[in-house]
Amino acid sequence: MPTVVVKTCLLCGKEFKKTLKAWNQRKTQTCSVSCAQRFVGKSHWVVLKCAFCGKVFKRIKGAVRQAQRHFCSRACHYKDNKEYRRGKRAGNWRGGFWHCNGYCYVYKPKHPNANKHGYIKQERLIAEMMLGRYLDRKEIVHHIDGDKRNNTFRNLLVCSNRSIHTKMHLQMRWGGA
C-alpha cells in the first residue's frame, strides 16, 4: 500500500490526501484543479502604484524588481524620465557644469535666460553679477582677450547688440579703428 501524505490547501484551507509518489512528483499545494488555478492567478500578480501618475495596476511578480520605480505604461515612463531625471538626479550628472564649443555652461533651471535644458553660459552669470541685473537676450558678453574660458570679470565686456560685438571682433582681427 502506497504511503499517503496529508496536507492543507493553501487557498481554501481544506485537508487533502496525496500519495508520497504524487507529492514528490508535483509538490501540489492545493486540494483541486480549480483551487490550483485560483492560487496561481493570485500568487503571480503584484499590485503596484505608478510612480508618475499614481494609477494602481498589476504586474507579474517575476517582472517586478525591488528598489525601482514602477510605471503603468511606457508613456508614463517616458514622461517621468523627462521630468524626474533632470539636474542632480540625471544619470550623467557632472556637478552642474557642461562644456561645449569652449564655453562653460552652468545648471540654473530657474534662471529666466536658461536654455531648454536649464543651462546658461557662465560668462553671462558673471556679467549679470557685475551689473546687478539680468542681461537682455540681445546683449552679448565679449571676451576682451579672446579666450572663451577666461571668465574673470576684468576680461568681460557687455555689448548691447550683435553688430557692436561683430565690430569689436573685426577691430581685434584687423587691428584698425
Higher pLDDT, 122 or 33: 122
DSSP string, 39-108: HHHHHTEEEEE-TTT--EEEEEGGG--TTS---SSHHHHHHHHHHHSSGGGSTT--SSEEEETTEEEEE-
Q: What is the pLDDT of residue 100?
A: 85
pLDDT of residue 23: 66
3-class state of residue 8 by DSSP: strand
The answer, yes or no, to whether residue 177 has pLDDT greater than 60, is no
Residue 176 confidence (pLDDT) = 58
Q: How far is CA 86 from CA 28, 93, 100, 110, 177, in A?
A: 50, 8, 18, 13, 47
Give this prediction's pTM.
0.52
Q: What is the DSSP letter of 116?
A: T
Neighbours of 72 (CB within 10 A): 19
Residue whose grid cell is 517582472: 63
* pLDDT tens-digit readout, 73-104: 889 888 887 777 777 777 777 778 888 888 89
SS3 9: coil
- What number is the average pLDDT over the span 108-126? 91
- Residue 137, all three cell numbers: 537676450
Report residue 41's pLDDT band, with 50, 70 and 90 as the boundaries. low
What pLDDT was estimated at residue 52?
87
Instruction: Name the 3-class secondary structure at 136.
Output: coil
H/E stretch holding 167 reads: helix 162-174
Q: How far is CA 77 from CA 81, 116, 151, 164, in A?
A: 6, 20, 40, 47
pLDDT band per the 50, 70, 90 thresholds, residue 138? very high
Q: Hey, what's the cell of 129? A: 553679477
Question: Comparing 80 with 134, which gets the higher pLDDT?
Answer: 134
Confidence tier at 63 by pLDDT (50, 70, 90): low
Q: What is the pLDDT of residue 159?
A: 93
Q: Average pLDDT of 161-174?
A: 87
Which of the 8 DSSP states describes residue 155?
G
pLDDT for res 27: 65
Q: For residues 151 and 42, give the distance between their C-alpha atoms in angstroms, rounded to a whole number.
A: 63
